[in-house]
Amino acid sequence: MANGSSRDERRLFTWRQKLSLLRIANFKCQRCGASVVDSKWHAHHKNHHSDGGQTEICNGEIVCESCHKEMHNGVPTS
């Protein structure tokens, strides 16, 4: 945690990592397949950071805002 911040800086994907994940996902949500070009999207940890998942490309995926909310509310997605 840098500069007295209470947030773990290593938890967040860098902009460069996010761009790589977007390219890997072909600019689509990796859960529902919707385009994320003109919508809100999130870089999501496949193995949650709180469970020890690393903030690395191999542990990341791009998901639309809707799928991300469903994932964290325990609603299964396709």
Residue keyed to tokens 């994907």: 13
Cross-strand bridge partners of residue 41: 64
Q: Both tokens of residue 31?
A: 């859960």
The answer, as to whether pTM is greater than 0.85, is no
Domain that holds residue 54: 11-72
Domains in the chain, number = 1
Q: Percentage of residues in the chain with pLDDT exceeding 70?
A: 83
Strand ranges (DSSP E) for the chain? 41-45, 60-64
Q: What is the pLDDT of residues 13-32, one digit of tens each?
A: 999 999 999 999 999 999 99
User: Would residue 6 count as lying in a domain?
Assistant: no
More confident residue, 75 or 6: 75
Q: Is residue 42 part of a domain?
A: yes
Please give the DSSP secondary-structure letter assigned to residue 7. S
Say which residues have a Cβ less than 8 Å from residue 69's Cβ, sequence separation at least 6. none
38 is a domain residue: yes
